[in-house]
A and B are shown apart, each in its own frame.
Chain A
Amino acid sequence: MDPIRRKLLKTGAAATAMAAAQSVFAQQAGQRGSFYEKGPVRIHYEEEGSGFPLLLIAGGGLNSTIAGLRRPDPFNPFEEFKGEYRCIAADLRNANGGQSSGPLEVDRPWDSHTDDQLGLMDHLRIDKFMVMGFCIGGPFIWNLLERAPDRIVAAVLAQPSGSRPEARDLFYENNIKGWGPEFVKRRPEVTMETVDRYLTKMYRTNPDFVFTVTRDFVRNCRTPVLILPDDIPAHPYAVAMEAAMLAPKAEVSMFPWKEPKERIPLAVRQIRSFLRAHRLASS
């Protein structure tokens, strides 16, 4: 073999080995702060606790990051569930304030994130899991249920996002101002025109219901879901309740469940019972 080529190969192998070692080290260094990589996608994730896997998705729209889950408002799901579950959470690809990055897939915005969530579970060698998501976690969860119905044992949608007929453009407007400008500052290869195309596909192309699936899908969904409605502009009560009434295995919390604050423990206990009931049913 050409000695130069041999040297290059050796160097490459060494680099690969070093990267692998770093990855192992990163994972051994603590449960927090590992990366899952696939092609140009790099997802920062954390794990806490042990037991049946529970994927946690933070709120915050396209700025959904792990840090959002660790805030006490409305409750910290790591703290509540790490005693019983292997809790896994990731920064959303390209969220400002997070450490995950990857291409902006303008033709498949929702699916690109679902790729990351399923890819992370594959990376962790997790087949079946439960999922709990806040806000934007709602549409993500429905997309997960559509794409991996046999892997998701049960799902909890807390204060889920939905399309409000009287404010169809709300999410587009929020993100074109609250996420896009900061994102293009950090990523010079991305333009606001690309952001506009991405957000248009995500929130303005057939905006309705929960964005990612149809009413017909929900009507036929066999996965148990627990929905905790909210009623702020981005989290319409009507859509949350419509999904709860349609899904044949849905449960729903009281409403409101966040105010007064003393009600939050009641909702957390309901989530705990729901997860236990369906974890047991699946085991």
Chain B
Amino acid sequence: MPFYEKGPVRINYEEAGSGFPLLLIAGGGLNSVMAGLPRSPFNPIEEFKGEYRCVYADLRNANAGQSSGPLEVDRPWDSHTDDHLGLMDHLRIDKFMVLGFCIGGPFIWNLIKRAPDRVVAAVPAQPVGFRPEMPTVLYDGSMTGWGPELVKRRPDITMEMVEKYLTRMYRTNPDFVFTVTRDFVRKCQTPVLILPDDVPAHPYAVAMECAMLAPKAEVSIYPWKEPVSRIPLAVRQIRSFLRAHRPPASASA
């Protein structure tokens, strides 16, 4: 399995298929790892490797993953976006599309903000968002489900650091999709296809608000995961969306 390294950061990644580059981001919050992709509502590697160069990585410091690096307590979201963009640079990929589950939603918005000319189209599936009636659900989930295991593996990291990191990530001005403002989404010229969910960490209202704000947004049927027989309809919509926005072969990276 290849690694991309930059200073103290070491990112374990894989590739499958060929064609226009498609970055895949697994769900699982801060435990987002490549192994999670096949366990998604559909396996994006299997669905898209026939048409795209699929690139995917373990999130920096995800338990059960092999990516590691500093815990950047002042810039948690951006540190991961650094890794996403750095990996694409490492692979000499300029323009790409991105499909992300759950925490992939905020990551995608941050990617579009930081690299609007590189991200050709994006698919946030069951995206994470801030739910006012459960304001600490993401912080609490990571404080119990990610932090303790990380500090066990990494003696250089303390729970105090984890607490600061998560506070910055999820409790400092928590709102909307965490990484960008409504005003950014309102002006975003990147085509996005949003597949809403409605579990505590994936509020339907935020997903639909994004879809209604973004001038080039499309949205899936909802619910699209239940009954499971609906999932192929959503996958076909993603396929059409990606094909429609994929640059002509001559213009690809």
Contacts and interface: CB of A to CB of B under 8 A. Distances in A.
B244 A274 contact: yes
B222 A254 contact: yes
Contacts of A263: 212
B221 A252 contact: yes
Contacts of B191: 269, 273
A194 interface: no
Interface in B222-246: 222, 229-230, 233, 236-237, 239-241, 243-245
Interface string A67-109: 0000000000000000000000000000000000000000000
A250 B231 CA distance: 12
B229 A254 contact: no
Contact of A269 (B212, B216, B239): B216
A270 B218 contact: yes
A58 interface: no
A254 B233 contact: no
A246 to B, nearest CB: 10
A277 B239 contact: yes
B219 A254 contact: yes
Interface in A234-260: 244-245, 249-255
Contacts of A266: 211-212, 217-219
Given A250-B236, A251-B233, A276 B243 contact: yes
B220 interface: yes
How big is the B interface, by class? 20 to 34
B237 A281 contact: no
A280 interface: yes
Contacts of A123: none
Query: Which of the listed residues B219, B240, B241 has the most CB atoms from chain A within 10 Å of its own CB?
Result: B240
Nearest to B196: A254
What DSSP secondary structure best describes chain B's contact surface?
A: helix
Contacts of B240: 224, 251, 273-274, 276-278
Contact of B241 (A244, A273, A281): A273
A184 to B, nearest CB: 43
How big is the A interface, by class? 20 to 34
A273 B218 contact: yes
A262 interface: yes
A253 B191 CA distance: 17
A187 interface: no
A272 interface: yes
Interface in A192-226: 224
Interface in A42-65: none
A269 B229 contact: no
A269 B233 contact: no
A262 B219 CA distance: 13
A277 B244 CA distance: 5
B229 A273 contact: no
A270 B221 CA distance: 11
Interface in B189-231: 191, 193, 211-212, 216-222, 229-230
Question: What are the 10 A-B residue pairs with the smallest beta carbon separation, nearest first?
Answer: A277-B240, A273-B244, A277-B243, A276-B244, A277-B244, A251-B236, A251-B237, A269-B218, A270-B218, A273-B241
Given A270-B237, A273-B240, 9 more contacts: A245-B229, A250-B236, A255-B221, A266-B211, A270-B218, A273-B243, A273-B245, A274-B240, A281-B243
Interface of B: 191, 193, 211-212, 216-222, 229-230, 233, 236-237, 239-241, 243-245
11 contacts: A251-B240, A252-B221, A254-B222, A262-B212, A263-B212, A266-B211, A270-B218, A270-B241, A274-B244, A277-B240, A277-B243
